[in-house]
Structure 1
Amino acid sequence: MLHSVPDIDNSEALTERQQAVLDAALRLLVEEGDNLTMTAVARRASCSKETLYKWFGDRDGLLTATVQWQASKVRVAPVDRKGLDLNSLTASLERFASDWLRVISSDTSIALNRVAVGHAGSGKDDLGAIVLENGRFALARRLKPVLEAGQQAGLLDFDDAETAFRTFFGLVARDVQIRLLLGDRLELTEAAIRDDAARATQQFLALYRSRTGGANNRPQGPGAG
């Protein structure tokens, strides 16, 4: 059973102290994997277990908040539905892709996902479900409104937002995450991340860009044609 914790998709919902506690929990996951305990987190974060229970409920609640905190680093640039054009849509998609590549290539995400995969179906705890619900599924809930805004503006053409999201997610991820999880020493530089994000966005637009849109469907600026 998943435990309910405050929704922290928006990192502003957390105090600096709570953010520091969750960062401590992430560092412990990197160092110790499954051995994460409320006692260990309290010790590392220099706070009491009572405070942790008050904020997060229990270990599963802490894990949920930790996953949400990590996922919150993947930002979705807000779009103006009325004035949305191809440039602003492209910028929003590229920012999402860049953030996601930075997050999945971090030591903390790799460690978190390895533990979650190891626990999946084991009956140990709900970490696998927690990572799915507050990681991948939460990201879909945040990005699909942007895709739907693009559809409403005549920029994108798709029948199902979930299918469109999965396509974009796959174009961004490729085999990067599985290679990292399996120990490949794949180094993603900032330049490589930017290039990969732009490539994935352009490939997505090649698949889903509307061919019947109006003025908002034409790129603006240097090189536009």
Structure 2
Amino acid sequence: MTERRKAVLDAVLALLVEKGAAALTMTAVARRASCSKETLYKWFQDRDGLLTATVRWQASQVRAGAYDRHHLDVGALRESLEAFAGGWLRVIASRTSIALNRIAIAQAETLGGIVLANGRFAIGERMKPLLADAREAGLLAFEDAEQAFRTFFGLVGRDVQIRLLLGEPLVLDEAAIAGDARRATDQFLALYGAAKMPAGAG
């Protein structure tokens, strides 16, 4: 992802926040990003391709942190889980993410699949290797990685995203995000930890 393409995707997000999906045309994006429509079609093929890239760009900010799979311990696992939780909360609380998800809901037949495939499902696939490595290291105990991920995802998000989408002015500053990430991690380890892990261990 070059800086120039990032600027184009940032322009897409800005248009969605300011004017909604109806204003999202290749012409409008080209004008906002100061590039040609020909360049947009070359990079993204069409409007759906542009939206797909935009969702991927948003979702790429949610990561499980860096860790050494050959030396994974409780501390590294906790740090990685909290990094994922904090990243996801920051993304869903952003004005751009709220606007993008509202549009996907309103146009579920056309955009819903794009957001699911390149948002929620893609994030899950990035997270599952950490869970598998933690199980192999004897830190977690579960039978199905998808079910374990969904549990963690639910513990992190709770009802926050739906409340944001419905317009509640929730305050999610860095202190609140860090606290929520830590709480979700503690709860997840209490459910799936292979050995007793005190809160804040590591």
Give the TM-score taking structure 2 as reference length.
0.96
1:61-210 equivalence runs, <5 A: 61-121=49-109, 126-210=110-194
- Helix, strand or coil for the counterpart of 2:139? coil
Shift of 1:185: 0.6
Stretches (4+) displaced over 2 A = none
Partner of 2:38: 50
Tell me the secondary structure at the aligned position of residue 31 of structure 1. helix
TM-score (norm 1): 0.86
Aligned length: 200
Distance 1:167-1:106 versus aligned 2 partners, 3 A rule? same
Higher helix share: 2
Aligned alpha-carbon RMSD (Å): 1.5
TM-superposed CA distance for 1:136, in Å, is 0.2
Q: Distance in 2 between matches of 1:189 and 1:16?
A: 27
| Cα distance in 2 for residues equivalent to 1:181 and 1:128 | 15
Structure 2 equivalent of residue 214 of structure 1: none
- 1:33 deviates by 1.5
Displacement of 1:78 in angstroms is 2.7
Gaps of 5+ in 1: 1-13, 212-216
Q: How high is the sequence identity, in percent, across the aligned residues? A: 69
2:71 match: secondary structure:
coil
- Give the drift of 1:76: 2.1
Structure 2 residue ranges without an equivalent (≥5): none
